[in-house]
A and B are shown apart, each in its own frame.
Chain A
């Protein structure tokens, strides 16, 4: 999508804040519905943040079906790593809107996600790279790639929430 058709940063920030609110409020099926039918959710390995998922072993490599199932799983009592549920707080910043390719444009932002549960407090800093398309008067996520701003997951132990 070319420079002239890009949405404003304010429009995009509204969308990102809405997404963050859905995750923080555990409305995860609604979060999954933000993705378009080809939607993907990806987290690269911490030692190779610039790698591609077809060749490198990502932490998360979800197609549309799997990301919806991830959302459903996290809402179950049998998702043991998130029962009882974490308190999740997203802070979104450094938002930029850029031209993309095909029918999508690119959005880049930083996120700091706090997670509190069972006497532990974990922090996940991240740079999020989105491919976003317009679907009538709404935005849809074609791809969300979360590049964690940590060297390893030693402090957090696992990644059991949506970033």
Chain B
């Protein structure tokens, strides 16, 4: 095994197939999109080179509201980091402290992550249905009928209503990452803390959280990037509507390319999203300057 790992030739041979696939399916299209973003093209006929005009149009006089959609995705990123991650953290802390049925709950919380997003979208669409949906029925049941709304059909609520399933779906995923990380912390530290009279809360705040900082950083990066490029659930629930109230960059890009026949402009949006994600990753890395704790 060691002989294989240290043999550079062997490494290259084993990594090559996966790398070729990765380059062809992920890297190459990004560069192609970069090229297409410099064209005015309908996707079918011939395209004309217009340089960075697409990028300027995105922000200066976007008829479809690209700037607002970016703002929406940033709102989702903030919700993910400040609502989804704390919830995941609390669940991870509780589960790893040895409650009864730990394995059972771990599985149950993870199930939304593996259900297809289309299924989740359809499920929540029925929950939000104004006439027979679970949410409005529940409000009627507790005598709050006045709060009933067409959640996905009203411009005021469509954005947040479409974000709830997204935040809900991946709580289990982050919880699992944090849970695994917490489990690697040796018990001796907790024992010592308990002897010194620390409460569970203090232990969580002063011991657990600092020691899982690396995984917290990973979770924050995943949450932010995932939010910036979210597509499936928004597309299924509202398709960016009504009238762009729940538009995010990826749904706007999709509609620009396939319904408005503006491949060049859509590619510019795609490239922007890629660059945006890279920038945020670097920022988060800087913010989380992690010192390795050894124990």
A binds B: no
Which B positions have Cβ atoms within 8 angstroms of A?
none
